[in-house]
Structure 1
């Protein structure tokens, strides 16, 4: 459709000059011959000069028209190329995707897919921030995030990755031999506990347990506070105190007899990690490629 704009008029002029015919040019542009004639006449009036010689049998360029055509055609071709490149980019996965992920989620769902992702989509740059802080994904400029379900913002699309998570209190046999084994969660208040500071939160995380259809928390005390779950594990293995860790991370230590599970009856699974991103009508192909890769990897 031809609009009453300079570009539309110049494009129409170039078509008439190429075909030397209003009829054939109108067919190419999908307009009527009369509409095309009016568009050219309007361009000539705005420029104050005749561009075409018209007879009942032929159309030819004036000297001014030939000069204008020589300048216009390269510009139109260049603009057409730019528009086609934009259309191609809109279909091809290319660009930077900013992803925010909790540490454990990145190890489990992102790192394993990197070889295949980078091989299949060489024009995508994954800008990955690994941090347990609960950030405003949209406000912080992230395209997507991976986090546990309880801290996902409203109005976000949330896709579940993997199964449930279970956290367990654990301790080394040497610690239990010296300090005894807690029988209930409240007994932890009498023990030396290794506490985790959730980044971005004002105080250490209160350990959560489940009893009689409800969750409750225990604000434990102890000699060490850390934001590193690796340090928590190492400290527990060294007998510093009781730690609260994801079951999947300590199964090997249980098998080797290095750690002992505690209070298992009060520790129940809860929904695990989700891939979340803002609702959007048109998703960039690069973001779609990353999301699809993470989802596929989570089911492998």
Structure 2
């Protein structure tokens, strides 16, 4: 078994053999000539054989030195190449980055970076899972995730993306004409509501409202439960019932009169999406590249103005 200190001695021996000079080899290795001489002398003593002929004017290899050099050069070349490839990987990020992202965040924060990711980092593969399930990011094998702040594990680094989120109860004019509009959140219990099931949760999501400095929830009822916010939108547009949707997703429907906002005074913004990843001293260059792209792109986003 080779002691770790002998790798340095062998590298020193190879440098002297290549340069045929202690002073030039010392300069190449960044050590003093005396320190280099001690390394070689110690190596010779441990091996029990002379490797170099030394005179005041020259250095040459003994027969044993020639044999040893021939044996160790391929290994040294291999190690040098491996280190060079490692340094190159740090300069040129490559590999697969696994990202878990909530549905509503994918269009805002991931899709916009894809052209630049493909152009600037052709050796990176982004393995993107779009899913609203709250899972253990690290335990599930992901490098990072994008989710709302309230479901981020405490031991994760969290970088805020974009602005606040506001959820609104909405309905089609036809529904309101037939069933009337709720005046308070508790009135929703008498209405047909389109409910959303958070993937991985046993029951439908209870709608959350804010009053007098505190949040409270209403467990609504209705004819439809779905895990798709797109289906909730379509059902609301069709007059099936009242939906609870992110404001940014219904701005256009408000503008054309297809949907009407309800209970706005009880609906306040809350912190939105975060990019989260585990704390680590040395992050893989590919992961760092993807995280930086998402963070930089998110800083340019502008949230839509609230509905008056």
Answer yes or no: same fold by TM over 0.5: yes
Q: CA RMSD in A?
A: 2.0
Per the TM alignment, residue 218 of structure 1 is displaced from its structure 2 partner at its CA by 0.3
**1:120 maps to what in 2?**
120
What corresponds to 1:13 in structure 2? 13
Distance (Å, rounded) in 2 between the aligned partners of 1:252 and 1:24: 74
Moved over 6 A (4+): none
> What is the number of equivalent residue pairs in this alignment?
298
Secondary structure at the counterpart of residue 100 of structure 2:
strand
> Which aligned pairs between 1:73-222 and structure 2 lie closer than 5 A?
73-222=73-222
CA deviation after TM superposition for structure 1 residue 229, in Å: 0.4
Q: Deviations 1:158-177 (Å, cap 9, x if unpaired)?
A: 22211211111111222222
Does 277-286 or 77-86 show the bigger shift?
A: 277-286
Q: Unmatched 5+ residue regions in structure 1?
A: none
Q: 2:147, 2:104 → 1: CA distance?
A: 9
Alignment correspondent of 1:238: 238
Secondary structure of the structure 1 residue equivalent to 2:108: helix
Give the CA deviation at 1:83. 0.6
Offset, 1:19: 2.4
| 1:32 shift after superposition | 4.0
Counterpart for residue 229 of structure 1: 229
C-alpha separation in 2, matches of 1:144 and 1:271: 19
Indicate whether 1:66 and 2:66 are aligned: yes
Contact 1:4 1:39 in 2 (8 A): no
TM-score (norm 1): 0.92
> How far apart, in 1, do the equivalents of 2:129 and 2:214 lie?
34
Judged with a 3 Å threshold, the aligned counterparts in structure 2 of structure 1 residues 51 and 120 are, in CA distance, closer, same or farther, namely same
Distance 1:113 1:55, change over 3 A: closer
Structure 2 spans left out of the alignment, 5+ residues: 301-308
